[in-house]
Amino acid sequence: MIQNSSKYSQLIKAEAKRLGFISCGISKAEFLEQEAPRLENWLNNNMHGETAYMENHFDKRLDPTLLVPDSKSVISLLLNYFPSEMQTSETYKISKYAYGADYHFVIKEKLKQLMDFISAEIGDVHGRAFVDSAPVLDKAWAAKSGLGWIGKHSNLLTKQLGSFYFIAELIVDLDLEYDTPVTDHCGSCTACIDACPTNAIVGDKVVDGSKCISYFTIELKNEIPISQKGNFKDWMFGCDICQDVCPWNRFSKPHNEPLFNPNPEMLSMSKKDWEEITEEVFQKIFKNSAVKRTKFSGLTRNINFLKD
């Protein structure tokens, strides 16, 4: 069986690469012992703000065998989203992950193909695909699977590509060969902590979500607190500041997924264009985009908040 585990793991990793994932790592499906106190403290300190869903399924977040009965392995995958073209510098900004089509749909399709491949090549394997849409601690699993280390900004970092990629998982009832974690390479650098304009990075690898610009511009449904006026540095949907300043992201390379390419119109829009955006233009530019999460009303709220 051990021989098969190694063979199956190599097969899966080769197919993941063929499907466009930049890397694939595998770890044993088991209780995340180190993460339990961290998650509990984070929730107890209300660092999730109004995202009440983070309080749900505490046990399932820490134990994949509760999500997928009889699961043996967590297959973690990374998909690059770093764009080749950016918005103009003097405009209201959108987080780079939301430039193109909604990643949930793009990755779900790739995971389905990978699961079909596993069933066809290996046999009767049961599992579930996860893309940031269920109680799974993506970054913890990716780190456990040796795909990178958790940086001080709490994002997964790799020496080769930095942090501009999505993380997804297949949790399966198949014994595989497990990878080992890599070492932390942040050292004494505090660039991300120093650059955060809302002081959301409150400790090493601890982000107070309720202070994060991404939280205010996407998750918060009520009015943005006036105390935050002037802190958002023109970010109207999400925020990339802690990633943009990270030295490891100088190694980021543009993705090769056509579905992640932005609408050219979006890249050239000025502040004035955004301030005058109509619902019709919003629907056209963000037709299949993750920006739709905030709705037209949410985006215009954010733009009005940013206006002088």
The total number of residues shown for the chain amounts to: 308
Q: How far is CA 278 from the centre of its chain?
A: 29
- Residues contacting 53, CB < 8 A, separation 6+: none
Measured distance CA(51)–CA(131) in Å, rounded: 18
Question: Residue 2: how many CB atoms within 10 A of its CB?
Answer: 8
Nearest to 75 by CA among 10, 158, 4, 2: 10
d(CA 174, CA 95): 36
What is the DSSP code (8-state) at residue 215?
I
Neighbours of 209 (CB within 10 A): 18
CA angle 293, 299, 301 (to 5 degrees): 125
Where in the chain does DSSP place strands (E)?
A: 23-28, 73-80, 93-94, 127-130, 149-150, 156-157, 165-172, 201-203, 206-207, 235-237
Are 296 and 279 in contact, with CB atoms under 8 Å apart?
A: yes
End-to-end CA distance of the chain: 65
Integer Cα distance of 87 and 244 in angstroms: 14
Half-sphere exposure of residue 271: CA atoms within 13 angstroms, side-chain side:
13
Instruction: Answer left, alpha or beta for residue 57, where phi above 0 means left and psi between -120 and 50 means alpha.
Output: left
Determine which one of 63, 116, 124, 132 is catalytic.
132
Active site residue 204: no
- What is the set of active-site residues? 132
